[in-house]
Structure 1
């Protein structure tokens, strides 16, 4: 068994107002809690038509207020987009309002387009300073931030908020050297992921934040009554990804049957098929075998499920089916 958690990106569906996507996220968190999932995280995206989640700490507050037991956090706050002191203050407020339930997931990505980066006051090189920003942020919780020793981020100072780094490659090395848990995507090219995890474990330095390496693998898992039905759940997200790669814009989710009927260009078709690969899908039994094998190969401590689909009820049914495969380890087990 393994801890199973959820990352929801507040995906919009075609014809849906973003406000409904945000309300769906809050409702989904309550359902995930009832099913026994360990964490519920929300994401940060700016200027993306298909994603309503642009302010993760604000949305995390709404999720935490609507739930009572599940851990709530961000997957993640993109630190290069923000001043570390402000991030510390925001998580200090969250942890003060919801003690013992808040996670601080941090990423190093910058905004997707030049226009959004300019609006945020950042450039493509902002991620190069992630390690320094991370050290500054963590320092505010201990009261010893190296960049600004005279500044105090209240109410964060003195609080313990579990911190996680979402990364691969250089970012994974930063996580290891800072002594923080790592969140890494189970995407295509598994060998690169396995090498990054091995490197992280080798370089890990125990810290006040984590005494040992802790690895969360994230990825898409689709479960349905049949293998074909489970694979259809992947279609809307795969098409959004393919459209973004070929048109430069990540659109709202569309129905799978309409996407199957599209007359795609050769490039669109290639990107779509590529986006359909590398995920775990099938019946409960098939997913139990596939996901169990992946957890075994990575020796992951936890798996973060990121599945989205146009049909919300089918998506929720997938999460319900995953929760009863026998893989989900609840606290205390």
Structure 2
């Protein structure tokens, strides 16, 4: 199963304790170069607003930097959150990217809005905007295809007429949107396997072939951590697990901290519960263990591609994990 599956990478530009936010952005560009050298299929960046632990707030800008620093790997967004933007502006931005880097740009689109009420107010959008995601998606595709009718004699230059692949990011309900639009589905994470499998089933059942996709295409996203030992791989998961636990108990998403610092922390019962839960269910271990877990995940989901979303404090250990994953794929081939 691994041999017939594409592998790609999403980096969230997570900030780290002791480092400026600018370092996180440079780390993302460096990681893209590494991903290209290792043979990964695509490299995507994310969109977050007003989140202290994430530097990636302008994905199309960051995607331009990544594409300029690489030469062959596909580059895109995972994703642009369409409720936060006017579809015309998004079309224009991707038109510029696709014109500068022809044949390499992906347009991953999501329906999420701001992290908090305050961020949503600052963006000028609320949760109700997410409900209009199908309409905004149709308008965006219309700008690119040249078929939109809502604004006569207005055109999205230079996007109109370009072939820019579009993908719908979903946790669950977005699967129906992707199916109705005839677009590939990006869904995660792999820990909630039953929920993911139900959504994929709905997507494949309801998929309507389109000019952009003749058949359903599924990209499953999730954390994959490989190391010399199972314990070392598990420690790669520690910084993100603690950041998630902290955000859910304090309402603030912190920069990633070193694993050894987190392991010495005194946690409340609730923090400990959320932290331990955050460590569970991810694909991790030695190369043999990861290969076995990936085979099972791909078989269960029928995924065409795996989008690796691992974040951790130790960038050297992260790169080592990706090198081990690339080795798994090469040996399977």
Contact 2:256 2:313 in 1 (8 A): yes
Provide runs of 4+ in structure 1 moved above 3 Å.
none
The aligned residue for residue 268 of structure 1 is 271
Of stretches 18-27 and 142-151 in structure 1, the one that deviates more from structure 2 is 142-151
Q: How far is the alpha carbon of 1:149 from its aligned partner? A: 3.9
The aligned residue for residue 135 of structure 1 is 138
Which runs of 5 or more residues in structure 1 are unaligned? none
The aligned residue for residue 297 of structure 2 is 294
| Residue aligned with 2:307, SS | strand
For residues 149 and 194 of structure 1, the distance between their equivalents in structure 2, rounded to whole angstroms, comes to 42
TM-score normalised per structure 1: 0.97
For residues 187 and 271 of structure 1, the distance between their equivalents in structure 2, rounded to whole angstroms, comes to 18
| 1:170-319 superposed matches below 5 A | 170-319=173-322
Do residues 34 (structure 1) and 10 (structure 2) align?
A: no
For residues 152 and 327 of structure 2, the distance between their equivalents in structure 1, rounded to whole angstroms, comes to 49
Alignment counterpart, residue 122 of structure 1, candidates 125, 129, 132: 125
Of stretches 222-231 and 168-177 in structure 1, the one that deviates more from structure 2 is 168-177
Alignment counterpart, residue 61 of structure 1, candidates 51, 64, 85: 64
For residues 286 and 81 of structure 1, the distance between their equivalents in structure 2, rounded to whole angstroms, comes to 40
For residues 251 and 291 of structure 1, the distance between their equivalents in structure 2, rounded to whole angstroms, comes to 30
Which runs of 5 or more residues in structure 2 are unaligned? none
Q: Provide the aligned C-alpha RMSD in A.
A: 1.2
For residues 134 and 157 of structure 2, the distance between their equivalents in structure 1, rounded to whole angstroms, comes to 22
Contact 2:191 2:222 in 1 (8 A): no
Q: Deviations over 1:226-263 (max 9, x none)?
A: 00000000000000010011111110000101111111
| Residue aligned with 1:326, SS | helix
Q: Deviations over 1:20-54 (max 9, x none)?
A: 11011111100100000000000000011110000
Of stretches 80-89 and 146-155 in structure 1, the one that deviates more from structure 2 is 146-155
The aligned residue for residue 75 of structure 1 is 78
The aligned residue for residue 23 of structure 1 is 26
TM-score normalised per structure 2: 0.97
For residues 187 and 123 of structure 1, the distance between their equivalents in structure 2, rounded to whole angstroms, comes to 28
For residues 126 and 190 of structure 2, the distance between their equivalents in structure 1, rounded to whole angstroms, comes to 26
Q: How far is the alpha carbon of 1:125 from its aligned partner? A: 1.3
Q: Deviations over 1:113-144 (max 9, x none)?
A: 11111111101211000000000000011111
